[in-house]
Amino acid sequence: MPRLKRSKTIENWTNEILTSDSDIGDVETLFEVAATSLAQENPLNKINKQLSSTQAMLIEALKVKEISSNIKNEEDISKFSTQVKILELAIDKRQKLHKERTYFLEQKVAEAGIFAVQKNNRKKNDTGKIVRKIRKGTLRYTVGEELTPFDAKVLMSLHKLWENKGKTKELTVNMYEILRACHLTPSGDSYNLLENSLLRLFRAEVVLQDIGDNTEERTFIHLLQEVGFERGRAEQGKDAKFTVMFTDRIYNSMAAGYFERFSGALLADLSSGTAQILMIALQPEFRKSIYEWTLDEVCLMIDLTSGRPSTRRTSIQKALSELETYKHISNYRIWDDYSGLTKVWATPGSILLEEDIVIKDKWEQYSGEIKDWWLKNKSTIDS
């Protein structure tokens, strides 16, 4: 296994700051660097928990000082105070990363709903392919594994690195680069996780069928044309490398700017696979001024099709609530209408409205039309 670069911990940064003999300006810069490093490499929930724990230890140390202070106590207060400042800065920086939509999926892939919340282990049909129904057509895989939320992160990370490394059809990156892009902490298991994900993405074949009254349109999508792995010998200190080649269709589409952008930090901070895949699924819907669906349609978008209806409804509600907390959506509602259908309604949140001019314009037009309709019919409704 190749050697991995180890990230600095909060303790490492604290010690570096407290032992620095630099002037105040340089020390403040160290605080910024430390906070930036922690924000880039740790999910928001982990930083928040660490801050709460450190604040509690600081309070205890201050209580001890009131009774009888000593050198150890003074050192603890200095250490915990420094860590609280770093962590508060890191939280602010992590929240700002939620607005940086530097990860993306090719447009057709983003709209196709190719990632699944559940592994349903479907049986292959007579063509040897797994068939999955989605709202816009049929999804087929050449192998028996569904593409997971983790695969979505890996594919988006490959696209991000493609953009940062010259937008060539063939992309070579070392393990540490893609781990950082995936917002993953380097570990001994990370290489195998990434290798398995890349193989799933390489084997995936997507066939979208749009069936009209008199026509049937099929779109065939392959995500990766080639995948190669190179493992350096540990004693040489050489990182493992991945080389991927995008298919002509994906490469040409991305090069022309046909893609949907997402926040990699926000995707990593979402606690459930349901919320992660729903985030990917809803964004192209907002771009097309679609804000209302049946519950069954939403479940098909993210392949949440097994289990009791009440369980699926609860899962969708929890996912929407989390997306609302992180401001990816601003409002949502789930209700049973007069026909007996369960409906879902959601609107784009401030992160999208501030960063995506198309989604903002579509929403303003839609909400303006709703407002005009309400004013026109208010007297009738009130009576």
pLDDT bracket for residue 209 (50, 70, 90) = low
Per-residue pLDDT at 146 exceeds 80: no
pLDDT tens by residue, 347-380: 999 999 998 889 999 999 988 877 667 666 655 5
- CATH label, 270-375, candidates 3.10.28, 3.30.1370, 3.40.5, 3.30.420: 3.30.1370
pLDDT tens by residue, 308-338: 889 999 999 999 999 999 999 999 999 998 8
pLDDT of the residue at 344: 95
Domain boundaries, the chain: 10-97, 100-265, 270-375
pLDDT bracket for residue 4 (50, 70, 90) = very low
pLDDT bracket for residue 249 (50, 70, 90) = confident
Q: Distance between CA atoms of 62 and 84, rounded to whole angstroms?
A: 14
pTM: 0.82
DSSP 26-77: HHHHHHHHHHHHHHHHS-HHHHHHHHHHHHHHHHHHHHHHHH---HHHHHHH
Q: Are 345 and 370 in contact (CB under 8 A)?
A: no
pLDDT of the residue at 237: 36
Q: How far is CA 192 from CA 102, 195, 226, 242, in A?
A: 25, 5, 18, 12
User: For residue 128, which phi and psi values (nearest 5 degrees)?
Assistant: 85, 10
pLDDT tens by residue, 177-193: 888 888 776 666 777 88
pLDDT tens by residue, 298-315: 988 888 877 888 999 999
Tell me the torsion sign for CA atoms 7, 49, 95, 259.
positive
Collapsing DSSP to helix, strand or coil, 194 comes out as: helix
Share of the chain above pLDDT 90, in %: 43
